[in-house]
Amino acid sequence: MHHTNGNSKNERILVIGLGQIGYSNAEYMTSLGLHVDGFDISEKAIHRALRSGVIENAAKDFSNYDYYIICVSTHNPDDMFIPHLDGLFDVASRISREGKTGALVGIDSTITRGTTHKIAAILRHRLHVVHVPHRFYSKERQDHGVRQTRVAGGFDACCLEKAGHFYGEVLGIPLHQVRSAEIAELCKIVENSYRFMEIAFAEELKIFCDRSGLDFNMLKEAINTKWNVKILDAKDGIGGHCLPKDSQMFLNLERSLLSTSIIDAAKKVDSEYRLHLSNLPSISPVQLETDVNVH
């Protein structure tokens, strides 16, 4: 476990957004003995964080904090597949009005290219701004939780220095620092776009096998004996918040620069795969136990 120095424990941290990412951040920071308050527009999220002790107080205002860690959701509340940054900009506007001059604003939320600079402009360059996209994976939180190697990109050199102190020294998170905030922004959405394509290829292969009368699992296992190839499982379609939204962010950036996109094709494959699943004949529990190799 990483240990903080005495000065760090006197500094105040505000985690903004107490969903899965913000809650986990606050939990980790509190475990280090740091002073962590929280803010969320959801009273339920606030009560959960207070009840479990991952935050000390629910913030009434944004004044007098040394670190503002933004973990708000960036998907449209009405459609998880559509990126939505309004909440992030609302938070930045409030920090601009109430935030402590010289404090660090760390954007852990997934954002698209150019957002860090827009946030810095909203803050009138009065606070340090960095983007340190999260890589938290709840299903493997022991190995891929809060404390894992992350990319950090700052608005300028002094912002990166501040990020190195907080994320690197105080929190003990290994950092890969890049001089461009835009590179950090692209890292997360490209990572998830790449993952989306990997899954979509498995879905495409599954459709092909089903329609050709071939065993997908047998083919996948045979292919994966090659050292540099790993075909993934094809399950229920690509869901969750991150992969559909983040790949759409990158696709939106690509459209003005490329006439074709394999991400666009991957999204079409995923849609066809979902339709393919809905048209498959149902399998009885007895058949499932005897005829299908379930992993």
The DSSP line for 57-116 is -B-SS-TT-SEEEE----EETTEEEEE--HHHHHHHHHHHHHPPTT-EEEE-S---TTHH
* 45 lies in the same domain as 172: yes
* 22 lies in the same domain as 129: yes
The reply to whether 1 falls in a domain is no
CATH code: domain of residue 104: 3.40.50.720
* 29 lies in the same domain as 165: yes
What is this structure's pTM?
0.87
Single out the residue in 179, 201, 233 at which a domain terminates. Answer: 179
* 79 lies in the same domain as 123: yes
Report d(CA 209, CA 214) in Å as an integer: 5
What is the span of the domain harbouring residue 13?
Answer: 6-179
* 42 lies in the same domain as 68: yes
Q: Tens place of pLDDT for every residue, the chain, 295 residues?
A: 344 444 666 899 999 999 999 999 999 999 999 999 999 999 999 999 999 999 999 999 999 999 999 999 888 777 766 778 999 999 999 999 999 999 999 999 999 999 999 999 999 999 999 999 998 876 667 677 788 999 999 989 999 999 999 999 999 999 999 999 999 999 999 999 999 999 999 999 999 999 999 999 999 999 999 999 999 999 999 988 789 889 999 999 999 899 999 999 999 999 999 999 998 875 433 333 333 333 3
Report d(CA 81, CA 240) in Å as an integer: 9
Single out the residue in 150, 179, 208 at which a domain terminates. Answer: 179
The reply to whether 210 falls in a domain is yes
Number of structural domains in the chain: 2
- How many Å is the Cα radius of gyration of the chain? 22
* 68 lies in the same domain as 11: yes
The reply to whether 20 falls in a domain is yes
Report d(CA 74, CA 90) in Å as an integer: 12
